[in-house]
Structure 1
Amino acid sequence: MNRIKEILACIFVHFPVAVVKLRYLLRFKKLPNLKSPKDLNEKILYMKLYTDTSLWTRLADKVSVRNYVKECGLEHILVKLYAVWNDASAIRFEELPDSFMLKSNNGDGKGTNVPVYDKNALTEAEIQFLIAKAGKWLAQKNIGALSAEPHYSRIKPLVFAEELLPIPKGEKSIVDYKLWCLNGKPYLFVVFSNRKSGGEADVSCYDLNWNNRSDLLEESKHYHIRREALQRPENLDAMIEYSRILAKPFPQVRVDLYNINGKIYFGELTFTSLGGMMNYFTPQALLEMGRKINLEYVK
């Protein structure tokens, strides 16, 4: 089994274009146009395979991106950071607050974060389990290889603890406001809510004036279109402006924010949403968004 894993990892690392084409074919029943990319997915795939993604590496790192946010004058929207470790054995639960979020800096959020609601309620066995889990995060190799995202493989693995944000009243999970920015300009909100184990979530879509645009979405295995409308968030204009500042240098990026009780928090910058294989947008929406991305000046 280990030998098989080694062979697969080798294929993913050394033949990323083949991996992309195969995965795209399996998902969309057609091959992507990488020579003359048209829609949003194809342009993301083109950029991650053929352009300089060294800055993506810095900003996809959930720890080092904090410095970029500070450089943009937005330190006030950063979630409080408690500690960072490169060795799981150095984690000291007694030095952390009662509640916190334990995360890896190079993960995609699926299984690489654990909320701790009350550390005092944890048994010693549970504490050791979390330390062992953090150790596995740090030991992971070929991060991003499976989805051909080489900028993740260059991130130095770290584990960190940050403030645990509260779930908004009336919601089943924290609400992610993901603001798509094209050519440095905010374009569209995609909002994820009611997250469940296994990666399932409700998804909704709004324009910059908070008009419902769920007509741009499609149902998929993990993402279900939310039927009830989300209330227009407080400080909507501020969210849009912060995203504009953070996205300014990039042909495309997704700025993830939280807005809880009127306070805006930075989540992350995402350059390869679903690895560039999003199936929750309609084909027409993907094409319209792709048309707005200018690759002429991409290195």
Structure 2
Amino acid sequence: MKTVKLYIWKIIYYILGHLWPKGCVTVHFRRSTGRFLNWQHPRDINEKIQWLKFYGNTSQWTRLADKYAVREYIKEKGLEDMLIPLIGRWEHAEDIDWETLPNQFVMKTNHGSGDALICTDKSKLDIKHWTQYFSRLLKQKFGTQMGEPHYDKIKPCIIAEQLMDCTRQQIESTSLVDYKIWTFDGKPAYIWACYNRTKSSCEVAVYDLDWNFHPEYSRSEQHYVLAERLIPRPVSLDKMLHAASVLSEGFPVVRMDFYEVDGKPYFGEMTFTPAAGFNDFYTQKFLNILGDLCKIK
């Protein structure tokens, strides 16, 4: 029964998203938070992200949310050394020359989320399956349903990047530690660290700029589980914060994502609408703190 209800709501969001995007967001916000979205006087970060979607300057969002196009922006800002080496780019899955790819790599679309192929041994790949998989992904659009049309405006392509070795970090983790820095018009404020990521769960923790752990800012839920252990301060944190400051200047809020391997920082992505403005894994206190830092008027 629950599955049927979720399917029905997906259909409702799909229809509303195309006919009345703001109404779709309003309904979804009410269902997910139990509160009415205050469009006139947004307070917390979720409300302000929703406001920015419809009333903010989103002219650069499409280019910078594009995981391929953003690379040029990184170069323009003098931070090319932080880019993960690019192996290839294709507009059609059928054009991928699998034979010339290295044995290990990461492959993903430039407009998707959580769709990456992390290949550690190319000889074990089902090429037909993955070709069909990426062919389907290129056709998918999800921005309209959550009021994120900037994603739908991205010209889809497939990119392959060098696989970064997650064993060459300061801590043992099943995945790269993802340092997600909440940044407000060039001013970093908090770091949300995500690690031991699997398809079903991820350990998370909020740290301030002095690397103090703030468990009171997180809510454990099925996917995002509050970390039980402290992780060491990244060796390159100062460089990450500097890059976040440079790249986010002029934007009311951007979540800047970075990785660190062998003590060197690497750029991940820029997200202007984290969790589409439905962040439910933070406490209301933290959502208000982030909201106060986001100046929209």
| TM-score (norm: length of structure 2) | 0.92
Partner of residue 54 from structure 2, selected from 36, 49, 56: 49
Helix, strand or coil at the partner of 2:145 = coil
**2:191 — aligned with what?**
189
Q: C-alpha distance in 1, partners of 2:139/2:296?
A: 36
Give the 4+ runs in structure 1 shifted more than 6 A: 4-7
Question: Given residue 33 of structure 1, which amino acid in structure 2 is its aligned partner?
Answer: N
1:119 matched to 2:122? The reply is yes
Q: Deviations over 1:187-209 (max 9, x none)?
A: 000011111213x2111011111
Q: C-alpha distance in 2, partners of 1:22/1:8?
A: 9
Q: Post-superposition shift, 1:6?
A: 8.1
**Kept in 2: contact 1:13–1:148 (CA 8 A):** no
Helix, strand or coil at the partner of 1:174 = coil
Deviates more, 1:242-251 or 1:73-82: 242-251
Helix, strand or coil at the partner of 1:267 = strand
CA RMSD of aligned residues (A): 1.6
Question: Given residue 93 of structure 1, which amino acid in structure 2 is its aligned partner?
Answer: W
Q: Deviations over 1:261-283 (max 9, x none)?
A: 20111000011111001012111
Q: C-alpha distance in 2, partners of 1:127/1:242?
A: 37
**Kept in 2: contact 1:183–1:292 (CA 8 A):** no
**2:296 — aligned with what?**
295
Percentage identity across aligned positions? 36
Helix, strand or coil at the partner of 1:239 = helix
1:106 matched to 2:111? The reply is yes
Superposed, which structure 2 residues align to 1:214-233 within 5 Å? 214-233=215-234
1:96 matched to 2:97? The reply is no
**Kept in 2: contact 1:102–1:114 (CA 8 A):** yes
Helix, strand or coil at the partner of 1:54 = coil
Q: C-alpha distance in 2, partners of 1:171/1:84?
A: 29
Q: C-alpha distance in 2, partners of 1:264/1:288?
A: 27
Q: C-alpha distance in 2, partners of 1:72/1:234?
A: 22
Q: C-alpha distance in 2, partners of 1:211/1:51?
A: 32
Q: C-alpha distance in 2, partners of 1:7/1:239?
A: 40
Helix, strand or coil at the partner of 2:40 = coil
Contiguous gaps of at least 5 residues in structure 1? none
Q: Post-superposition shift, 1:102?
A: 0.8
Q: C-alpha distance in 2, partners of 1:21/1:6?
A: 16
Partner of residue 32 from structure 2, selected from 27, 52, 55: 27
1:17 matched to 2:22? The reply is yes
Q: Deviations over 1:142-192 (max 9, x none)?
A: 331221211101001111111111113511221100000013200000011
1:91–1:231: structure 2 CA closer, same or farther, 3 Å change rule? same
Q: Post-superposition shift, 1:51?
A: 2.5
**2:79 — aligned with what?**
74
Q: Post-superposition shift, 1:9?
A: 3.3
Q: C-alpha distance in 1, partners of 2:182/2:57?
A: 21
Question: Given residue 130 of structure 1, which amino acid in structure 2 is its aligned partner?
Answer: W
